[in-house]
Chain A
Amino acid sequence: AQKVTQAQTEISVVEKEDVTLDCVYETRDTTYYLFWYKQPPSGELVFLIRRNSFDEQNEISGRYSWNFQKSTSSFNFTITASQVVDSAVYFCALSEASLGGNQFYFGTGTSLTVIP
């Protein structure tokens, strides 16, 4: 079974629009960790944000914000005032404490295109 589901395959927005990327996860662990990574055309996965399962506080970091809801097993990621440089594939990932946090389960990614 897929542990991380990103239902949005591709999204296109016009520059300066806000965009939210959805992520739904599945785990039986009570302690787990959630991540968002960005993969630009160059191919390197760039770490963006990390959240622990015991900290549901939502935060804003610059143009990035995230909404973590354990009740719905969702970890959505929002980019405010999108820019062309935000165009990339975004991956949501999960690691579980029962496995030592050593395996990352990635979703299939959401390809974001920001149109100038």
Chain B
Amino acid sequence: DTGVSQNPRHKITKRGQNVTFRCDPISEHNRLYWYRQTLGQGPEFLTYFQNEAQLEKSRLLSDRFSAERPKGSFSTLEIQRTEQGDSAMYLCASSPGSIVGTEAFFGQGTRLTVV
């Protein structure tokens, strides 16, 4: 399978716990994105990596959120001290990045439920 892979697919956690999600982009895609999608809404941009460098962060990304892409391959998104408002689908996407404005390819997402 050469698509974007996200793990886990589902996560249920208690309020106040920390959670970490993983994204494996399409091989050789140097751009990687994280988005958040709540019910009935379109995805909202969270952050963007060019290789291992985190180049853009949305104001939606509070201090409790941190993302890494240590070797320019897979990425992790960690949420500390989860709140009920963090319940959402977290989507990862990647793109080749060689041409501006190329489409992004999305994974199936990680659905987080904070109880």
Could you say which of A45, A52, A97, A101 contacts B106, with CB atoms under 8 Å apart? A45
Does any Cβ of A come within 8 Å of B13's Cβ? no
Residue pair A44, B106 in contact (C-beta under 8 Å): yes
- Closest partner residue, chain B, to A100 (CB atom): B100
Interface residues of A (CB under 8 A from B): 4, 31-33, 35, 37, 42-47, 50, 52, 91, 93, 95, 97, 99-109
Binds A, one of B39-47, B61-69, B74-82: B39-47
Residue pair B43, A45 in contact (C-beta under 8 Å): yes
Q: How many residues of B contact A (CB 8 A)?
A: 27
Does any Cβ of A come within 8 Å of B108's Cβ? yes
Contacts of A95 in B (CB 8 A): 101
14 example contacts (A-B, Cβ-Cβ < 8 A) are as follows A35-B103, A43-B111, A44-B107, A45-B43, A47-B104, A47-B105, A47-B106, A50-B101, A99-B56, A100-B100, A102-B33, A102-B48, A103-B56, A106-B42
Give the complex CA separation of A108 and B40 in angstroms: 7
Having A45-B93, A104-B33, A106-B43, one finds 17 other A-B pairs with CB under 8 Å, namely A4-B42, A42-B108, A43-B109, A43-B111, A44-B106, A44-B107, A44-B109, A45-B43, A47-B104, A47-B105, A47-B106, A102-B55, A104-B35, A104-B104, A106-B42, A106-B44, A109-B42
